[in-house]
Amino acid sequence: MAGRMSREEQVSATREALLNAAERLFAERGVHAVANRQISEAAGQGNNAAVSYHFGTKGDVIRAIVRRHTEQIEQGRVRMMAGLDDSAGLRDWVACMVRPVTEHLESLGSPTWYARFMAQVMADPALYAVMFEESFTLSPSLKRLMDGLYRCTPDLPTEVHNERGIMARHLVVQMCVERERALAEHAPTYRSTWHDTATGLIDAIVALWQAPVTRDE
């Protein structure tokens, strides 16, 4: 019959519905507070085993959520970095860390849940390892980004550089969480647009990289 979805299309639509439901529930309640049955119900699936059937474990669901967003963020980062050369400064490289994320969140419309989902995952060491692995596997541009940051901050000891990279990632996620939550709740926001949010983050992260290093005596 014309207009009827093929089996492949039905499976794809079901998987997408399950991922959307899982991302929202994980963001709102926390990963460990959500059962697969609840995800299936929120996605409108009568089969409580739908999550296990389509993905496997909860870790596999998380991988799939991270993957679909990371691929889009990677495309934006690659486009930004295409215009950079060896003369690029610290602010240029920090912008490549921040703007692909905020532009992706803006492209999703409102409400979104991905920033809050990331915050939940980053709070769990095992789940964070999954997200970290997926991000670097799907984002080869991240190595070039880190190399650019290293070149712009040659005087920082390696351990300080690594520490500030972690600080910067958490700052990006948490400020995106603040804006995402405010937009979802129709509450006042610190900045009027995602673009302005990114600008404020870039200002702060540049200052973070340039902060002096206090050495214990």
Residue 216 lies in a domain: no
Mark whether 121 and 205 lie in a shared domain.
yes
Mark whether 22 and 89 lie in a shared domain.
no
How confident is the prediction for the chain on average, in pLDDT?
A: 91
Mark whether 70 and 106 lie in a shared domain.
yes
Mark which of 56, 75, 102 sits at the end of a domain.
Answer: 56
CA-to-CA distance for 25 and 13, rounded, in angstroms?
Answer: 18
* Cα-based distances in Å from 83 to 61, 66, 87, 131, 146: 35, 26, 11, 28, 16
Mark whether 7 and 100 lie in a shared domain.
no
Lowest mean pLDDT among 1-15, 52-66, 135-149: 1-15
pLDDT attached to residue 39: 95
Question: What CATH code is carried by the domain that includes residue 2?
Answer: 1.10.10
Smallest Cα–Cα separation from 72: which of 41, 33, 101? 101
CA-to-CA distance for 209 and 172, rounded, in angstroms?
Answer: 14
pLDDT attached to residue 8: 81
Residue 57 tokens, joined:
């474990």
pLDDT attached to residue 2: 45
pLDDT confidence tier of residue 3, bands split at 50, 70 and 90: low
CA-to-CA distance for 199 and 127, rounded, in angstroms?
Answer: 29
| 111 within 8 A of 180, measured Cβ to Cβ | yes
Mark whether 206 and 107 lie in a shared domain.
yes
Residue 112 tokens, joined:
């979104």
Mark whether 51 and 66 lie in a shared domain.
no
Mark whether 48 and 98 lie in a shared domain.
no
Residue 202 lies in a domain: yes
How do residues 77-133 score in pLDDT, each as one tens digit?
Answer: 999 999 898 889 999 999 999 999 999 999 999 899 999 999 999 888 888 888 888
Residue 87 lies in a domain: yes
How do residues 21-45 score in pLDDT, each as one tens digit?
Answer: 999 999 999 999 999 999 999 999 8
Mark whether 97 and 51 lie in a shared domain.
no
Gyration radius from the chain CA atoms: 19
Mark whether 99 and 192 lie in a shared domain.
yes
Residue 175 tokens, joined:
């400020």
CA-to-CA distance for 168 and 209, rounded, in angstroms?
Answer: 9
Residue 41 lies in a domain: yes
Per-residue DSSP letter, 133: H
Mark whether 81 and 175 lie in a shared domain.
yes
Residue 132 lies in a domain: yes
Provide the number of structural domains found in the chain.
2
| 175 within 8 A of 119, measured Cβ to Cβ | no
Q: Does pTM top 0.85 for this prediction? A: yes
For residue 151, what are the domain limits?
62-210
Whether residue 135 has pLDDT greater than 70: yes
Whether residue 173 has pLDDT greater than 50: yes
Mark which of 56, 71, 94 sits at the end of a domain.
Answer: 56
Residue 217 lies in a domain: no
Mark whether 116 and 168 lie in a shared domain.
yes
CA-to-CA distance for 40 and 30, rounded, in angstroms?
Answer: 16
pLDDT attached to residue 46: 77
CA-to-CA distance for 188 and 156, rounded, in angstroms?
Answer: 38
Residue 35 lies in a domain: yes
Residue 204 lies in a domain: yes
- Phi/psi at 113 (5° precision): -130, -5
Mark whether 162 and 193 lie in a shared domain.
yes
